[in-house]
Amino acid sequence: MDRFGRARAAADAFLAKIGTKPLVMGILNVTPDSFSDGGKFVLPESALAQARAMAQAGADVIDLGAESTRPGFTPISEEEEWARLEPVLAPLLEETALPLSIDTTKAAVARRAAVLGAAVVNDVSGLRGDPAMAELVAESGAAVVVMHHREKIDSTIDIVADMIAFFENSLARAQKAGVERRKILLDPGVGFGKTLAQNLGALAATGLLREKFALPVLIGVSRKSFLGALTGAPAEGRLAATLSANLAAFSRGADVFRVHDVAEHVAALKVWSEIDRA
């Protein structure tokens, strides 16, 4: 029996929806220290209730993360990460038809999730963190989000050129490992090692990235600090700014939007799409 059969089927179903409409990925952090919602969904019952609420609100996929990636985060072990994930992932896979994504940089965690049936591996290291990640993605048949990630901010660099070089390297790693190109999504990595100007430039380059690599683009800007720098709003007050940034990216060809506020994005993207179609 193919132990990754469920993950492969779910990945194919998710990928088939890309391009048919803008897809909304609901964020579910089962962490005590994420920058916006840390601690809210640590208990499995709370996390499951939030997942059900996002599904009801129209989410197309739910992204589960058990290790914070905020600036200055404290790394955790594979076992601790899985201990947070499994009590939520296992029952969710049994009760929902929505594809589930795992936000992790650890191949061993991604493997466990794919065995259960997770459809997507969301790797903020861009396949550069764990040397076994690309091979695991290829073996499992899961879809993978490859994110541009700089360890340190350098205001002197051309961020678009840096992203292109980064993605070329990551895609070469994926190809060498046997990852199907059709299963890859790119994420500009807004908020990861970039100045305010570079974050804006990364978003503005959405169309360029899509055209150059002929791959779907996922945008993750929800409630991030660069929006606070622009508006002065705290994390919980950045919905309007998040909607604006995501609609700007959608107008440039972005395909998937990773957000905390699912219902608002489903509505905004639907209205934009209908106006554009008219």
Query: Which residue type sits at 135?
Result: E
Q: Which one of the listed residues 128, 194, 224, 238 is annotated catalytic?
A: 224
Does residue 270 carry a catalytic annotation? no
Does residue 181 carry a catalytic annotation? no
Query: CA separation (Å) from 255 to 74, 141, 265?
Result: 31, 21, 13
Q: Which one of the listed residues 84, 183, 223, 258 is annotated catalytic?
A: 258
Q: Please tell me the distance from the alpha carbon of residue 43 to that of residue 40, in angstroms, as a whole number.
A: 8
Find tokens 């029952």 and name the residue.
91
Active-site positions read 224, 258
